[in-house]
Each structure stands twice: as structure tokens, then as C-alpha cells.
Amino acid sequence: MNKTVSVIICAMNVEKYICACLESVTKNDPFEILLVDGNSSDSTVSEAKKFNVKVLSDDGRGLSYARRIGVENARGDYILFIGPDNILEEGFINKFVTLLNEWRFDVGSVQTRVSNPINFWDKGLDTRWQFLMAKPGEINVAGTPSLYKAKCFENTNFSSDDFGPSDDTQLANDLKSRGFKIGLVPLNVYDQNGTSFISTWKRFKWYGSGDYFFYKKNHQKWSLSRKIFSLTHPLRQMLNYSVRCLFILKPQYIAWHFLFIFIARYYGWINTFYNFNFVKKEDT
């Protein structure tokens, strides 16, 4: 069954993670593996070429375009996006396809955890994944890893503009408006451990930049309540997860959620807004 699956990995400067990721993917024996590189300045590409991987380039145009390039070159009946820091257990791809069809979803996501968390940053991220990807069923957005039936891309694709991490949200809105079903299935995938304060800060700052671009593209057609819902998303999520930390007797991770889900994410939003609206104007 997994011979029908094209695996797409969008990567940039991930030499630390890519070999372990590709080794786990190769053990799943997919139909093909496509790595879309974002002009890496380290040895990501040379490390990837040690495996049976087709390497493409997004010419530095960003994640949205990288995903688009991957879809345009994929030949499978299913398209599986995974992150370069993900580790797949043996049989993962077969199970994912089976569960996608059993749950009658067109697009599926899985329950992410951190593999053997070793430090505060790992353990905080693991609690975030535990809260975010908790209960299988219909969801609004399929975050990476995500499995799409190829028919989802017959009349649409990821944007050619760079929406950062919000491009899957934009695509999900389009797919749901046309009747496609998106859901979370009961299957685990693992992030590699060894995160740091800097890597975690950059990750959630980047999420915040995606929040800004998604808001910018859609806010004019939204009601006031929908605008407020979007603007308060990081705040509401931080408060929700902080309360859950108390219920699972891990109050020390409240600080993690405040620092990254609230401060880093809003900083990314505000910083992107400033750069996009003021710095660019000064340059013109």
C-alpha cells in the first residue's frame, strides 16, 4: 500500500536532523522521497543524497513555494509531508494510509510527541504536542506530518507566495470549503529531541509570522468576532495549556508556554507586521 505514497520533506539547514529522518522514512519503503531544499548553506543536501532521494530546490522562495514544488513533482496516489526533524516508526506510512481511509478523511494529521525528551525545552514542547494533538476526529488544519489524497490537489495547491507556516491553514480553508474532510488519526510520530531555547524561540517566532500573513490575507472578509478570534489565538492557547499543565501536575511548564506560545509567537507577528509595512516602505 505504501508504494502509492510520495513523501515530501521541505528542509533548510537541518544537517543535524536529516539523516535520522531519512533513515526512518526509507525503512517505510515509500514510492518516492522528494526533498525540497531552501538554499541550505550547510550540508543538508549532501547528507540527503546519501539516500535514495530526489532533491529539488525552492530557490529560497520559502516554505509555501517549497510545498508547492513538492506537490507538482509528486507521482503518488497519496502525498505525505513530514518535517526534517520527524522520526517515523516502521510501518508508519502503511498505518497512516489505512487510518486515513478507515476514518474517511481526505487529509490526515497525526499525534506528535518528542522522542525521549532530555531537557526543559524538549519537555515543554512535548506537553504542547500532548495538548494540541489530543483527541482523534475532525480538525480544521492538518499540521505536519500530514497525509493528503492526491485528488486534493487537482484544482488547488499551496500558494506561490510565502505564507510561512500558515500556508497549510490557507490550503485547509480552501479544501474544507469544497467539501474535503480533514482529521486527526490515532497514530504517533516523533520529533527528534535536543531542542534549545534558541531553536524553540525561532520556531514559535516563525509560527507568529505565519499568523500575521494568514490574518493579512483574510481579515477584510472576516467579521469583527472572527478577527478577534484570530488575534487572540496565541493568548487563548497559552491560557488553556497553562491550566492543563496544572491538571497533569506539571506547573513548571507554564513558563514554557508563556515564553513561546505567547511572547515568541506575538513577537513574530508584530515583527513581521513591522518589517512588512514599514521597513519595506522605507526601502522603496
Beta 54-57 vs 32-37: how paired, if at all?
A: parallel
- pLDDT of residue 283 exceeding 70: no
Express each pLDDT in 211-252 by its tens digit: 998 899 889 999 999 999 999 999 999 999 999 999 999 999
Domain residues of the chain, as ranges? 2-117+135-193, 199-283
Mean pLDDT of 174-178: 92
Express each pLDDT in 146-168 by its tens digit: 999 999 999 888 887 766 667 88
Q: Give how far Cα 164 sits from Cα of 157, 159, 206, Å.
A: 15, 10, 7
DSSP assignment of 137-204 equals EE-S--PSSEEEEGGGGSS--S-SS--GGGHHHHHHHHHHHTT--EEEEEEEEEE-S---HHHHHHHH
Residue 249 grid cell:
501536575
Whether the pTM exceeds 0.85: the reply is yes
Note whether 21 and 86 are within 8 A (CB). yes
Please enumerate in sequence order all residues whose Cβ is within 8 A of that of 50, keeping only pairs 6 or more positions apart, or say none: 19, 22
Q: Report pLDDT for 1.
A: 43
Express each pLDDT in 129-140 by its tens digit: 999 987 899 999
Distance CA(48)–CA(36), nearest Å, equals 11
Note whether 90 and 27 are within 8 A (CB). yes
* The residue type at 281: K
Q: Report pLDDT for 244.
A: 95
Mean pLDDT across the chain: 92
- pLDDT of residue 271 exceeding 60: yes
Instruction: Lowest mean pLDDT of 36-40, 113-117, 169-173, name the range.
Output: 169-173
| Percent of residues, the chain, with pLDDT higher than 70 | 95
Hey, CA dihedral for 165, 167, 168, 169, is it positive or negative?
A: positive
SS3 call for 55? strand
Express each pLDDT in 49-90 by its tens digit: 999 999 999 998 888 899 999 999 999 999 999 999 999 999
Torsion of CA 130, 136, 137, 139, to 10 degrees: 30
Distance CA(176)–CA(206), nearest Å, equals 25
Q: Report pLDDT for 280.
A: 57
- Domain 2-117+135-193 sits in CATH at 3.90.550.10
The 3-state DSSP composition of the chain as helix, strand, coil percent (nearest 5) reads 55, 15, 30
Q: Report pLDDT for 160.
A: 73
